[in-house]
Chain A
Amino acid sequence: MTTPLAEVASSASTLRAFLHGLPGVDRVGADARAAMLATRSIKTTAKKQAIDLAISMVDLTTLEGADTPGKVRAMCAKAMQPDPMDPSVPAVAAVCVYPDLVATAVQALAGSGVKVASVATAFPSGRSSLEVKVTETALAVAAGAAEIDMVIDRGAFLAGDHVKVFEEIAAVKAACGQSHLKVILETGELATYDNVRRASWLAMIAGADFIKTSTGKVSPAATLPVTLIMLEAVRDFLSATGRKVGVKPAGGIRTTKDAIKYLVLVNETAGPDWLDPDWFRLGASSLLNDLLMQRQKMATGRYAGPDYFTLD
Chain B
Amino acid sequence: MFEYAPAPESRDIVDIKPSYGLFINGEWAEPLAEERHKTVNPASEEALAEVAWAGEADVDRAVQAARKAFAVWSVMPGSERAKYIFRIARIIQERARELAVLESLDNGKPIRESRDVDLPLVAAHFFYYAGWADKLSYAGFGPDPKPLGVAGQVIPWNFPLLMLAWKIAPALACGNTVVLKPAETTPLTALAFAEICQQADLPPGVVNIVTGAGETGAALVRHPDIDKVAFTGSTEVGRQIARSVAGSRKKVTLELGGKAANIVFDDAALDQAVEGIVNGIFFNQGHVCCAGSRLLVQESVAEELLDALKRRLSTLRLGDPLDKNTDIGAINSAAQLAKIRELSEAGVSEGAERWSPACPIPDKGYWFPPTIFTGVAQSHRIAREEIFGPVLSVLTFRTPAEAVEKANNTPYGLSAGVWTEKGSRMLWMASRLRAGVVWSNTFNRFDPTSPFGGYKESGYGREGGRHGLEAYLAV
Complex interface bits, A36-51 against B, C-beta within 8 A gives 1, otherwise 0: 0001111111110110
Asked whether B2 lies within 8 Å of A40 as measured between CB atoms, the reply is no
**Interfacial chain B residues near A29, Cβ < 8 Å:** 269, 271-272, 275-276, 441-442
Interface size on B, residues (CB 8 A): 23
Q: Bin chain A's interface residue count.
A: 20 to 34
Stretch at the interface among A19-27, A164-172, A250-258, A288-296: A19-27
Instruction: Find chain A residues with CB under 8 A from B475 CB.
Output: none
- Which single member of B4, B6, B268 contacts A23 (CB below 8 Å)? B268
The answer on a CB contact under 8 Å between B325 and A25 is no
Minimum CB distance partner of A266 in chain B: B2
Nearest chain B residue, comparing its CB with the CB of A49: B2
Q: A23-B268, A232-B271 are contacts. A39–B5 as well, Cβ < 8 Å? A: no
* B315 at interface, CB cutoff 8 A: yes
- Closest chain B residue to A48, Cβ basis: B5
| A46 surroundings in chain B (CB, below 8 A) | 2-5
Which residues in A have their C-beta under 8 angstroms from that of B81? none
The reply to whether the CB of A28 lies closer than 8 angstroms to some CB of chain B is: yes
Q: Which residue of B lies closest to A193 (CB)?
A: B269
A306 to chain B, nearest CB (A): 28
Closest to B421 in A: A24
Interface membership of B94, Cβ < 8 A = no
Q: Tell me, yes or no, whether B7 is within 8 Å of chain A by CB.
A: yes
Q: Are B4 and A26 in contact (CB under 8 A)?
A: no
Q: Mark B68-89, 1 if CB is under 8 A from A, else 0.
A: 0000000000000000000000
Interface flag for B324 (CB, 8 Å): yes
User: Is the CB–CB distance between B4 and A42 below 8 Å?
Assistant: yes
Which residue of A is nearest B420, CB measured?
A24
Give the distance to chain B from A171, nearest Cβ to Cβ, in Å. Answer: 32
Q: Which of B269, B275, B315, B324 is the one whose CB lies under 8 Å from A41?
A: B324
> A70 to nearest B CB, angstroms?
38
Tell me the complex Cα distance, A30–B325, Å. 19
Question: How many Å from the CB of B111 to the closest CB on chain A?
Answer: 10
Q: Is B441 a contact partner of A28 (Cβ separation < 8 A)?
A: yes
Indicate whether B270 reaches chain A with its CB closer than 8 angstroms.
yes
Bound complex: CA A186 to CA B340 (Å)? 49
Chain A residues with Cβ below 8 Å from B6 are 43
Q: In the assembly, what is the distance between CA of A45 and CA of B2, in Å? A: 10
- By the criterion CB–CB under 8 Å, are B5 and A45 in contact? yes
| Given A24-B421, A32-B275, A42-B7: A50 touches B2 (CB 8 Å cut-off) | yes
Tell me, in angstroms, the Cα distance from A47 to B6 when the chains sit together: 11
Extra 8 A-B pairs, beta carbons < 8 Å, given A23-B268, A30-B271: A23-B270, A26-B421, A29-B275, A33-B271, A43-B5, A44-B5, A267-B2, A272-B2
Interface residues of A (CB under 8 A from B): 23-26, 28-30, 32-33, 39-47, 49-50, 53, 232, 263-264, 267-268, 272, 275
13 CB-based A-B contacts, threshold 8 Å:
A23-B267, A23-B269, A24-B269, A26-B441, A29-B275, A32-B275, A39-B112, A41-B325, A44-B5, A46-B2, A47-B5, A50-B2, A264-B2
